[in-house]
Structure 1
């Protein structure tokens, strides 16, 4: 068997001819120069420097050449591929620089403009209304007083002259935490076994605590959350808010109460709103009254006028605000205040009810669901 003829030089492969390699190089360089962005350059890289590019295919054919021809063909293809890769790198640098400059222009941030604050919520209108009421009375010299929500029966009922058999002290009206016990008519009963513990049904216990902690004269306003066993519906809720005021001093009369309430209504609803007092009964005040104000929507003009009905006051002309009266002497005595020397007046009303009046809120459930779409229209965003 004869040895291979290593000197035999077959016909040169077409893809490895100098003119073919040069043509592939020139085509690649022209395509690289014409690439307008990084995406086009990526496509050019695949077409002219990828595994299926003309120069890559030509490089695979080198093995078909005889040893003497391989070196020259390899140098020729290598120089062409090197030129293409160098051009790709240079063009990539240029396009990245152009992209960065464009981003700086298109996405520039003017730091002198005010920031756009994303609202994270809104203050509840009940909170802002309570604070506004507090401001009215603080400006008159009253002090804001607070107390516990879990309260002894003595503070919640007995000290307020609410008898042990009063319907308000039944489990149908009051949330009992311990008890019920039935008070013994003294402050010592608050901590003893004879007094139950309830979720306060009004903020009046804060008035009792204020009288026990302070020497007359006492002028306090008591906002807070209270609890009653009502079902949640459009006009009732088991958890609601009240604001009550108490004034105890020498020589106070119903005239002082009327003037104070007129000032409050004027500050909250306008100076031209008239008020009236209707006789009523409350265990902790004597005499007692219900306070009404003229409807701030129709100003009473809807009464007897079917052509102009008023939904706010049901065409009655008046809106009930709350109960008031002169502090019962028994309440003063229970708190250690001499009723022969001092007199006082008190008033209480529900914040939810006032919010419904002021803003025509029809469903009380909207106030407790926590939906910011309810709170934002009041202009209380933060």
Structure 2
């Protein structure tokens, strides 16, 4: 029996394969036709694989040759029509063709996937394969920190934190607090007036009046919030934050006021911080006083920051004026009380050694980033101010 070698056309260079089949030239039926048919289908499949330019196209080629109705699958189904002695050889040839086509499909799939990945990375501005960038961790604003610390102290003593409206009437902002019509605080240069009797509150004291009108003694509240005044310089801002406190009960004395505020100052600034009270005047308290703390730079010796005084004012306070108690329906003969008020920015300036209040609102990241170190330990006498460190 003579054997003739048949070499199909060379497949695509991408695959780099040559396929050869042998058949019996003297067999008129079965073998020769079957061998040529399998080889032709395999060669056709490999060419289609090489021509596929995308993964969807490659999938179409797979279905056309290896799918349920694919050409190679149909050749396997036709084995039942062959003589029994031809079936093993036919099955081996078709399975070998399927194996080679599957290998070619997988190789082409990897090539197309790699090419698609390269095109995508070239087109995208963001390389998702780069290591991630962790954003810097932020922290609370120094004014918020000071506010929280103040409220934490007083709520720990049993005070209730209440809020009031920022737009008030002349009555609650001035008249109910025993501030006469000719008082300088009522002047247009000091207060932001709105329409009619409305204005932006100049202090949070109106919240105390609202509370006393709604509650009977005993009353123990602190009123935090924003206040507004026509004033702007290194130590004043047209908008700032206040915390005002009020305690009304039977037999409340000036000694109770002093003991409360001394405990507050030492909790905020340290147990060794020196304090003093000096007489002052406020229309809504009688007697009235201002509380000072020893300068943290010179420790009371006198310097540029404290103006040579050695002391820095921190808050105002006093015993509630009997007329204020009468305005809310309390009997001054039965109850008494004390009140105090402080600027939160002032407390933050003293606690964190800041000499310009405007730095709190300028959003200078160098300034704000310097606070975590100061939150660990309060400034010591002789330490530089924060703006000196950041070059402000």
User: What range is the shorter-chain TM-score in?
Assistant: 0.5 to 0.7
Cα distance in structure 2, aligned partners of 1:124 and 1:83: 67
Question: Which residue does the alignment assign to 1:127?
Answer: 144
Deviations 1:149-203 (A, max 9, x none): 1111111111111101111111111111134xxxxxxxxxxxxxxxx22111111
Cα distance in structure 1, aligned partners of 2:274 and 2:183: 34
3-state SS of paired residue (1:268): helix
Q: Which runs of 5+ in 2 are unaligned?
A: 1-7, 17-39, 51-100, 117-127, 374-392
In the alignment, is residue 159 of structure 1 matched against residue 176 of structure 2? yes
Cα distance in structure 2, aligned partners of 1:295 and 1:93: 77
Cα distance in structure 2, aligned partners of 1:109 and 1:175: 54
Residue of structure 2 aligned with 1:92, choices 105, 108, 121: 108
Question: Which residue does the alignment assign to 2:244?
Answer: 244
Question: Which residue does the alignment assign to 2:293?
Answer: 293
Distance 1:349 1:32, change over 3 A: same
Question: Which residue does the alignment assign to 1:47?
Answer: none
3-state SS of paired residue (2:194): strand
Distance 1:84 1:275, change over 3 A: closer
Higher relative contact order (CA 8 A, sep 6+): 1
Deviation at 1:295, TM superposition (A): 2.4
Equivalent runs, 1:1-382 vs 2, <5 Å: 29=13, 82=47, 85=50, 91-95=107-111, 118=135, 122-179=139-196, 196-231=197-232, 233-300=233-300, 302-303=301-302, 310=303, 312-370=305-363, 374-379=367-372
Q: Which runs of 5+ in 1 are unaligned?
A: 1-20, 34-74, 101-106, 180-195, 304-309
Question: Which residue does the alignment assign to 1:66?
Answer: none
Distance 1:286 1:93, change over 3 A: same
Distance 1:82 1:204, change over 3 A: closer
Deviation at 1:297, TM superposition (A): 4.2
- Provide the aligned length of Structure 1 versus Structure 2: 281
- 1:123–1:375 CA contact under 8 A, matched in 2: no
Deviations 1:283-324 (A, max 9, x none): 111111110012234432x43xxxxxx554345322110111
Deviation at 1:260, TM superposition (A): 0.3
- 2:305–2:355 CA contact under 8 A, matched in 1: no
Distance 1:94 1:322, change over 3 A: closer
Distance 1:260 1:88, change over 3 A: same
Deviation at 1:237, TM superposition (A): 1.5
- 1:226–1:239 CA contact under 8 A, matched in 2: yes
What RMSD over aligned residues (CA atoms) do the two structures have, in Å?
3.7
Q: If the length of structure 1 is used for normalisation, what is the TM-score?
A: 0.64
Cα distance in structure 1, aligned partners of 2:238 and 2:130: 51
